[in-house]
Chain A
Amino acid sequence: MKHAGKSPYLKTSYAKDMVIEAFDTPFRKKSTVLGLIVWGLFPFIAGNYSIHIVNLIAIAAIGALALNLLCGNAGLLSLGHAGFMASGAFTTAILSVNFGMPIWVVLPAAGLVGALFGFVAGLPSLRLKGMYLGLSTLAIHYVIVYIFSEYQFYGKFGFGIPIKDPQIGPLTLSSDRTWYFILCFLVWLVGIFIKNLLRSRPGRAWVAIHNRDIAAEVIGIHIGYYKVLAFVVATSITAMAGGLYAYYTNVATIDEYSFSMTISYLAMIIVGGMGSVLGSLMGAFLITSLPFMLMYFIDYFEITGLIKDYFFAIQTGLFGMVIIFFLLVEPLGLSEIWRRIRVYFQLWPFRLRPLQVTKR
């Protein structure tokens, strides 16, 4: 106990072990401070366009965190992610346009509606597993899309329901810069929430069910309850992300929430790393910024012709190839690569790690 407190790797009490620390090693301390400074200065240096991209990444990150909780941690395949986002977006549209409600009522309400749909989607999970569940969530996606496209059609909204900029007290959320701070804060909040959820009873129950459901039931975990709970938590967060997206883009249109949106979210969690909070963030960053980077390259090299005309097709094809590449070569995603790099530098100049972290 002589060196207690000296080495940042030595944890001397349980309470200390439980804290999620950003300041535990000198390197982390420096990089956290540096990161915060960069984060705070970014919106004042960068142009509106880059801030806009970061905002989109932040919204995608919230959705990806929720999907990763459901698919990566609880192991429940969901192909209805776009549908759940649509439910949030349209709840937002209906409540804010028809009833003029403020954002702090609308967003929780969107979460509630999402949770309701999630509950319905979760019920089949009591009996179904794997791809059967995936198909039933796909079915729910089509049902949700049908309901809201009827609403959009009969409400004569044409290309979408326009939504006004929300107000929090005297503050109007209209400029990208204001949104930047709000959205980044929300990402941080959701990330911390999920990280804590995963260490508490539900999170451990989900991991246990994911690994071996029969064993989980034997040790006294109520499987049905936790499976539905995973759906409810994930879909309510997803619906809130959908609501934020509708608020941010000022429009809710059903065409946006197609199956390809689900695919891009699945791409995020696969590329980032299944079951990893950091992975969701990395995946959201890569997949959301990929089209913008592509666009930038096309403009920079003044490429015209087929590539520019069919930009969207090339973009989705690239998504597909990235997913195939990661599935075949690195199934654990970017977060695994990041972990390997970190371990390499931590152990340097040694090469072998003392403890092999078992792969799931």
Chain B
Amino acid sequence: MPFLMSVLVLGCIYMVLAAGFVIIYKSSRVLNFSYTDMAVMLAYLAFTIVGLIPGPPVVALLMVLLISFFLGLLIYWLFIKRMAGQPIFSIIILTVAIGIVIQSINTLIWHGDTETIPLGWRAYYTLPGKTVISGTDIVIMLATLVFFGGLLIFYKYSKTGWQMRATAENILLAAQRGINIYAVTALSWGIGIFATALAAILLGSHSAVSPNMGHIAIRAFAVALVGGLDSIGGSIFAAFIVAAAELGACTYVNPRLADAIPFMIMLVVLLVRPWGLFGTEEEVERI
């Protein structure tokens, strides 16, 4: 039971991380490699702002989420939009480069210290079956639920959500119908970085804020690919698979497998079903 509980919590974090990635990919077809470093930066930012603003940490954390949204818009307008028409290779390298610039900013400002983000709820509850659940775990699960619920409602029922789905499906036709594809793509970058910030805060309160967070965050690549790069629902399922495999290998086989297991799963999935378990088949260009 404790094992299942930790799989659930880790799965939730992976899910949000992968969502940040899939949302951006869906609308702009860019894999955002900068995003592990971005997660580290946003987690440190959350730590600093929580320290600066008195009162309950919720206010400060909401502020961080808002900042991250605008950061996403800024990155899109500054870099990604200019790269339109360049080969996909260059755009990927650009995100890698943005990532390493952010990484060095992190080191310069926060010096690689280890911190935690306090959520202000340090209680432990014992469930039947001797499973201990902490307040942080409950917050993580609730936040994940609220985030995905909000995303679902936004995509399904709002006009902008429709436009975003239309753009993801066929960008040319969407532009033809008068949708401002630049605004929509910028918005998806905003939401994507927002999700990254949320995941970073959850991860930072679950374990610790440190440069090593990037090693955990990078596993969300594997989650996104296993689930299918264009399927948010798929990443929910894949998050649990990856989390279970990783924690299982950690607990029962060898702790140092943790870095490799998600990528081994990803490799197998890429070889068998390149478009992921739930992705669209036409998505992968084939010969």
- The interface of chain A, by Cβ under 8 A from chain B, is 71, 75, 77, 123-124, 126-132, 134-136, 138-140, 142-143, 145-146, 149-150, 153, 213-214, 217, 223-224, 260, 263, 266-267, 270, 306, 310, 312-321, 323-324, 327-328, 331
Contacts and interface: CB of A to CB of B under 8 A. Distances in A.
What bracket does the count of chain B residues touching chain A fall in? 35 or more
In this complex, the member of B86, B260, B286 whose beta carbon has the largest number of chain A beta carbons within 10 angstroms is B260
B248 to A, nearest CB: 16
B89 A71 contact: yes
Given A128-B270, A134-B31, 20 more contacts: A75-B89, A127-B271, A128-B284, A129-B285, A131-B88, A139-B264, A139-B266, A143-B264, A223-B287, A224-B287, A306-B108, A310-B111, A314-B104, A317-B100, A320-B100, A321-B97, A327-B93, A327-B97, A328-B83, A331-B86
Nearest to B260: A146
Nearest to B267: A139
A121 to B, nearest CB: 10
Nearest to B283: A132
Contacts, number: 133
User: Which 3 pairs, one residue from A and one from B, show the smallest C-beta to C-beta distance?
Assistant: A317-B104, A313-B107, A320-B101
A135 B101 contact: no
A328 to B, nearest CB: 6
A219 to B, nearest CB: 14
B93 A317 contact: no
B79 interface: yes
A250 to B, nearest CB: 26
B284 A323 contact: no
B101 A317 contact: yes
B98 A324 contact: yes
A328 B274 contact: no
A336 to B, nearest CB: 14
A128 B267 CA distance: 12
Interface of B: 31, 79, 82-83, 86, 88-90, 92-94, 96-101, 103-105, 107-108, 111, 221-222, 225, 256-257, 259-260, 263-264, 266-267, 270-271, 274, 284-287
B210 to A, nearest CB: 15
Contacts of A126: 287
A135 B100 contact: no
Contact of B256 (A153, A313, A316, A319): A153
A316 B103 contact: yes
Contact of B270 (A139, A146, A306, A324): A139
Contacts of A331: 86, 90
B267 A143 contact: yes
A263 B107 contact: no
A314 B106 CA distance: 11
A131 B283 CA distance: 12
Given A140-B267, A150-B256, A327-B93, A130 B98 contact: no
A310 B112 CA distance: 10
B52 to A, nearest CB: 21
A75 B92 CA distance: 13
Contact of A327 (B94, B104, B111, B259): B94
Q: Per DSSP, are chain B's interface residues mostly helix, strand or loop, or mixed?
A: helix
B123 to A, nearest CB: 37
30 contacts: A71-B89, A127-B271, A127-B284, A131-B31, A132-B225, A135-B31, A135-B225, A136-B266, A136-B270, A139-B263, A146-B259, A223-B287, A310-B111, A312-B107, A314-B104, A314-B108, A316-B103, A317-B103, A319-B100, A320-B97, A320-B99, A320-B100, A321-B101, A323-B93, A323-B96, A324-B94, A327-B97, A328-B82, A331-B86, A331-B90
B100 A138 contact: no
B254 to A, nearest CB: 8
B39 to A, nearest CB: 15
Contacts of B257: 146
A277 B226 CA distance: 37
A133 to B, nearest CB: 9
A187 to B, nearest CB: 24
Contacts of B79: 324, 328
B108 A142 contact: no
Contacts of A123: 271
A270 B91 CA distance: 12
B284 to A, nearest CB: 6
A75 B96 CA distance: 18
Contacts of A266: 93, 96
Contact of A324 (B92, B97, B221, B274): B97
Contacts of A214: 287
Nearest to A321: B101
Contact of A130 (B104, B107, B285): B285
A146 B259 CA distance: 8
Contacts of B90: 270, 327, 331
A224 B287 CA distance: 9
A194 B200 CA distance: 45
B54 to A, nearest CB: 29
Nearest to A136: B270
Given A132-B274, A139-B264, A314-B108, A149 B256 contact: yes
Contacts of A320: 97-101, 103-104
Contacts of A128: 270, 274, 284
Contact of A129 (B97, B256, B259, B284): B284
